Amino acid sequence: MDKDYTIDTLIEDIYATLTRDKPVDRDVVLKECEAFGERMSKMLANRLLETRVPTVSMSQVGQPCVTKLWSSVNEPEKGEPLTGDTLFKFLYGDMVEELTLSLSVIAGHPVEGTQDRMTLGTVSGSRDAVIDGCTVDVKSASPYAFLKFKAGLTHDKDAFGYLTQLGLYTCAAKDDPLVTEKGVGYFLAVDKVSGKMHLDKHRMEDPEETEFSLLEMCADRQAVVASSERPSPSIHPVPDGKSGNMKLDTVCSYCAFKKECYPEVRTFLYSNGPRFLTRVVRTPDVFEVT
């Protein structure tokens, strides 16, 4: 690898590799293509054959709603089953992420520690990779979600707890010799429609304080899940414009357990997607799913 390569040139090097403006090593290409095929085969087999046991993992700790977390571990059978198109969307996203890592290798950037099991306190998770000595979490994203990463993801716009997840991986790697840039984590976001990429960098101002806060959060989430009592909904409906109707918050809209929290919810199909109303003062002039 060229000594001048750093994670700052990763995206331009991937694009230059694809346009063939950057020469590649034939042996590296063939070796990585074989490895990519093996990973894809294993991933597809896992999706179709493995049964996942619900646990509190690094990808779940940052969930904004503890009710969803409790339900997913203690009463997973009560959640709405995922549809085939949704499962395909998730699988396609995983494929995009694997392809991105392979292109990083072919572009000359060292990719190490892929899917290493990381632990902080009593919570574990599998990180995506260490690229150029940096903790990296690859995210395939819709065009709308991609803009959040491009602007710099913030907690108020993080509906799925990605920042907490990245923070856990970063803290867990503090003594990892593969990670040379400590206290920093990156999202490598990929717009799966346009093919655009963006590196969203997050530096911990006080790594020790951040680690302490994350350890507290992990302990709190595990205590919630260990309880025999389902927590009350922690995220509440919001006004649907000026109609007087109330709708589910974005976080709740994507939740498989929304009908457990709000059995009265009604679903209306708008041009930009479904809207879940918990109170209907003015009936929308769109199709209602019954």
3-state secondary structure of 11: helix
Cβ-Cβ contacts under 8 Å for 69 (sequence gap 6 or more) = 56, 60, 63, 221, 224, 225
What is the reported pLDDT for 274? 94
Write the DSSP symbol of residue 235. Answer: S
What is the reported pLDDT for 50? 86
pLDDT tens readout for residues 132-145: 999 999 999 999 99
**For residues 198-208, average pLDDT:** 96
Cβ-Cβ contacts under 8 Å for 194 (sequence gap 6 or more) = 143, 146
What is the reported pLDDT for 52? 81
Q: What percent of the chain has pLDDT over 70?
A: 99
What is the reported pLDDT for 234? 85
pLDDT tens readout for residues 21-48: 999 999 999 999 999 999 999 999 999 9
Computed over every residue of the chain, the mean pLDDT equals 94
Report the candidate in 101, 102, 93, 91 with the shortest Cα–Cα distance to residue 33: 102
Cα distances (Å, whole numbers) of residue 162 to 4, 85, 203, 234, 260: 30, 23, 14, 19, 25
What is the reported pLDDT for 1? 42
pLDDT tens readout for residues 265-279: 999 999 989 999 999
The answer on pLDDT for 186 being more than 70 is: yes
